[in-house]
Structure 1
């Protein structure tokens, strides 16, 4: 299976099915997602009381934004390291 982030509508559907008492496998089958995707989503984003799709989306957006900031820095760092290695600097 190819990696795709869950969409906000999918998170609302997970919430609705979860509230109906469906198992994670049943939710996965309904949404055509692997049951482990549902399990991870609920584990990462559920509060002590419930799974809130709005909060889940906000947390996902925050994680994505944080990762994106790191990725944007990476090319310049890679270029600097490659340049120093080209000058026979030690990786240390």
Structure 2
């Protein structure tokens, strides 16, 4: 627990829905993983369910491991292709 002070200060402020990981949380996942934290401990630090962390690491790990920027881009790409994504026609988008 010697490193607890570091993460008590650095815990991300989540303003958005708890349904999705924020970019800050993805950064913390990468940082904690790089210093040797296991998935359960990362989940505890971020106040998330362990399955959320496990799924994030499995879904977004590339050839060079988990990288937060790449993971965030992949999540945004998947969200845009979702059947629940908002669809805007090119004409409407141009008018805005």
Moved over 2 A (4+): 70-73
Q: Deviations over 1:40-80 (max 9, x none)?
A: 0000001132211000000000010001xx3357xxxxxxx
How many residue pairs match? The answer is: 70
State the partner residue of 1:24: 39
Q: 1:3, CA displacement in angstroms?
A: 5.8
**Whose helix proportion is higher, 1 or 2?**
1
Q: 2:53 aligns with which of 38, 41, 47?
A: 38
Rg (Cα) greater in structure: 1
Q: What's the secondary structure of 1:21's corresponding residue?
A: coil
Root mean square deviation of aligned Cα: 1.7
* Structure 2 unmatched ranges of 5 or more: 1-16, 88-96
TM-score by length of 2: 0.67
* Distance in 1 separating the partners of 2:23 and 2:30: 11
TM-score by length of 1: 0.70
* Structure 1 unmatched ranges of 5 or more: 74-92
* Distance in 2 separating the partners of 1:21 and 1:3: 25
**Whose strand proportion is higher, 1 or 2?**
2
State the partner residue of 1:48: 63
